[in-house]
Structure 1
Amino acid sequence: MPKAIRVHEYGGPEAMSYEDVPTAEPGPGQLRIRQTAIGVNFIDVYFRKGAYKAASLPFTLGKEGAGEVAAIGEGVTGFRVGERVAYAGAVGTYAEEVIVEAAGTVHVPDGVSDETAAAMMLKGLTAQYLLRRTYRVQKGDTILFHAAAGGVGLIATQWAKHLGATVIGTVGSQEKAELARAHGCDHVILYRDEDFAARVKEITKGAGVPVVYDGVGKATFPASLDCLRPFGIFASFGASSGPIDAFDIGILAQKGSLFATRPTLFTHIATRELLDANAAELFDVVKSGAVKIPIHSRARLADAAQVHRDLEARKTTGSTVMIP
């Protein structure tokens, strides 16, 4: 029987159990994948804790992975057994085998490894919609990206640099500062030691930036608004430090007719056309070598609990991949 990580009750890393699960058959519109690499994301922690609720208990964690098509459900076209595929919005990828919706699955092109695909689908597609759709970064822009040494950050900062932007990144340690500089950041701010809003104003000579990309949340708000120029966009796409408290929308007026948005990846890949277009743009920029996907940690699926401990302790940088 294939193995999977199951959560029977919401809780800490110890809530994850490595156990046998029955082999499932794909239903209409589905594929069964024999996974070769599994992506790890902070959203997995939210589900394990119960901050985000699973459809029912027990459940298998995981949203992202790559592998080979093992079986094809009724009505599925465009896929063949043995093809390499990847997915970012699946359910239950902490497993040797997973059932995925064909509509949310893409082919992995030659020149991109399974590990790279598993490490970049969710983070890379997040970087893609942030930089190309939420605010379309242009040559000559100066942007602020919080948690620049995180999984999304290390992809987004390289990509923004490739697009011709000046990139300001915030990080939590000197080690992460060096990593951020190596991945496209022109200016790195240690947000625990410095007033990042004051530093951004200094770097931009008082002008501010057109966009702040924020996956941190509570710890960086509302100071992020003070980094923006008039009509700037505050793009909140995560909350690793805790959720942003409810705020008076009038603050956006006071600070310069600002825009605040809370986009999600799943809206941006909700149709086959959107998914294919966004994934093609991501694969192209990775295959070109302009954006390298940093995999800084590899672990066995059986060791998922330790992977989560490291993730929550902010010991990780870049992407973590688990191998079934």
Structure 2
Amino acid sequence: MAKRIQFSRHGGPEVLDYLDYQPATPGPNEVRVENRAIGLNFIDTYFRSGLYPPASLPSGLGSEGAGIVEALGSAVSQFQVGDRVAYATGPLGAYSELHVLPADKLVKLPDTISFEQAAAVMLKGLTVQYLLRQTFPLKGGETILFHAAAGGVGSFACQWAKALGVQLIGTVSSAEKAARAKEQGAWATIDYSQENVAQRVLELTEGKKCPVVYDGVGKDTWETSLDCVAPRGLLVSFGNASGAVSGVNLGILAQKGSLFVTRPTLASYADTPARLQMMADELFAMIASGQLKVEISHRYALKDAAAAQAALSARQTMGASILLP
């Protein structure tokens, strides 16, 4: 038997239970991973609340972790028992001591990257990789807007943008978070609790606005984000921290300058094992070079996952948080 977090109904953090369970035997193309560290992400709260429906209930939770290969399916040849691995796009169930998932969802973890680093960076770091390097390939010299710049994804985006020679304007909710974003590499910050974001973007860009705006907040920032995109620019809506964007009027895109909008997901970019490993390798290289620092601000025991999610949803965290089995 092993321990895992499970939920049988949708709701707040209180629906999460810490239970004994029997891990499955890996199928032919699956592996069983002994988790050493587990990532904590906003998307986990979407499945818990029902915004994203799980395959069935009761359900495990979480899609990111790092550990050791503990058992192999009969057809798996690319991994061996004892290999160090990490994952971020697997099926739900990472909030567990043992997790069974398809082998093609795993990447090999270099010895230079710790399990805690991998669990803290895989989902957020791969998200930043596809956002900055693929969805809108930044070349250097651009001035961009990134919402929630002091959060887990935002902190990595600040660092990666600076490494690329990009001027990142980050929105934050307090002076403390503004300082945090600046430390991580933001060129400028806007405290949306005190300042008009669209007006400040106009001032900071000398009226040009931004060729790309990255918005992981969703409903609360949608209209503001549109007002910050330069004509024929791109709004990348990649998250729903404040709720899903709905009722979009395409005519607004014309009114505001023939804007483009996309709603990307990591799964769509890391859609083959080769692409997933390529993205991870670039991420690991950024860490190894020192250009991307993985700072773990909060560590929670697996049994305290409900408290960890409550803190995350209340925006009481800065940087990365992880769960430890």
TM range (shorter): over 0.9
Please state how far the C-alpha of 1:146 moved relative to its aligned partner: 0.3
Q: Quote the Cα distance in structure 2 between the aligned partners of 1:54 and 1:239.
A: 17
Q: 1:311 maps to what in 2?
A: 312
Map 1:1-324 to 2 at 5 A. Answer: 1-90=1-90, 91-324=92-325
- For 1:87, the aligned partner's letter is Y
SS of the aligned residue for 1:283 comes to helix
Task: Tell me the CA shift for residue 251 of structure 1.
Answer: 1.1
User: What stretches of structure 1 move > 6 A for 4+ residues in a row?
Assistant: none
Per the TM alignment, residue 191 of structure 1 is displaced from its structure 2 partner at its CA by 0.9
Following TM superposition, by how much is the alpha carbon of 1:182 offset from its aligned partner in structure 2, in angstroms? 0.4
CA RMSD of aligned residues (A): 0.9
Contact 1:197–1:226 (CA under 8 A) maintained in structure 2? yes
1:138 and 1:196 map into 2 onto residues whose CA distance is 25
* Whole-angstrom distance in 1 between the partners of 2:140 and 2:42: 31
1:203-250 Cα deviation digits (max 9, x unpaired): 010011110000011111111111111111000000101112312111
The one-letter code sitting in structure 1 at the alignment partner of 2:323 is: M
Q: Equivalents in 2 of 1:23, 1:270: separation in Å?
A: 26
The answer to whether the Cα contact below 8 Å between 1:295 and 1:318 also exists between their aligned partners in 2 is: yes
Q: 1:41-63: per-residue Cα shift (whole Å, max 9, x none)? A: 01111111111111111111111
Deviations 1:53-79 (A, max 9, x none): 111111111110000000000211110
Residue by residue over 1:71-90, the C-alpha shift from the partner in whole angstroms, topping out at 9 and shown as x without a partner, is 00021111011111000012
Q: Which residue identity lines up with residue 147 of structure 2 in the other structure?
A: H
- Please tell me whether the aligned partners of residues 30 and 73 of structure 1 are also in contact (alpha carbons under 8 angstroms): yes
| In structure 1, distance between residues paired with 2:324 and 2:225 | 37
Taking only the aligned residue pairs, the percentage that are identical comes to 52
Deviation at 1:23, TM superposition (A): 2.9
**Secondary structure at the residue paired with 1:28?**
coil
Displacement, 1:276?
A: 1.3
Q: CA deviation at 1:22?
A: 0.8
Letter in 1 for 2:62: G
SS of 1:274 mapped into structure 2: helix
Please give the per-residue CA displacement for 1:4-36, whole angstroms capped at 9, x wherever unaligned: 011011111111111100132110110000100
| Partner amino acid, structure 2, of 1:254 | Q
Which consecutive residues of structure 1, in runs of 5 or more, have no partner in the other structure? none
Residues 154 and 294 of structure 1 are in contact (CA less than 8 Å); yes or no, is this contact kept in structure 2?
no
CA distance in 2, matches of 1:245, 1:199: 26
Q: In the aligned structure 2, how far is the partner of 1:43 from the partner of 1:276?
A: 22
3-state SS of the aligned residue for 2:107?
Answer: strand
- Report the TM-score, using the length of structure 1 for normalisation: 0.98
2 CA distance for matches of 1:110 and 1:19?
Answer: 32
